[in-house]
Chain A
Amino acid sequence: MNPLVTYMITPLLIWAGIFGYLFWLDMRLRALEKRLEEEARR
Chain B
Amino acid sequence: MSTTGKILTGIWTAGAIVAAFLWLPPAQGFRSPEAARIVVFHVPCAILTFVAFLVNAAYSWLYLRSRHPLTDAKANAAAELGMLFAVLATVTGSLFAMEQWGSAWNWDPRETSIVMLMLVYAAYFVLRGAVEEKSKRARLSAAYALLAFPAMVFLIWILPRIVESLHPTNTLFSRSGLDASYRITLWSFFAGLLAVFVWMFRLRLQVELAEARLRQQYHRDAIAEATLAGEIQ
Contact = CB atoms under 8 A, between A and B. Distances in A.
A29 B98 CA distance: 38
Secondary structure type dominating chain A contacts: helix
Interface in A1-42: 1, 3-4, 6-11, 13-14, 17-18, 21-22, 25-26, 28-29, 32-33, 35-36, 39-40
B210 interface: yes
A11 B210 contact: no
A14 B92 contact: yes
A32 B207 contact: yes
Contacts of A21: 84, 200
A29 B206 contact: yes
B214 A36 contact: yes
B74 interface: no
Nearest to A8: B21
B61 interface: no
B87 interface: yes
B210 A32 contact: yes
B204 A10 contact: no
Interface in B20-49: 20-21, 32, 34-35, 37-38, 41-42, 45
B34 A1 contact: no
Contact of B203 (A4, A7, A9, A25): A25
A5 B20 CA distance: 14
Give the 3 A-B CB pairs with smallest separation, nearest first. Answer: A3-B35, A32-B210, A3-B32
Interface of B: 17, 20-21, 32, 34-35, 37-38, 41-42, 45, 84, 87-88, 91-92, 95-96, 98-99, 196, 199-200, 203-204, 206-207, 210-211, 213-214, 217-218, 221
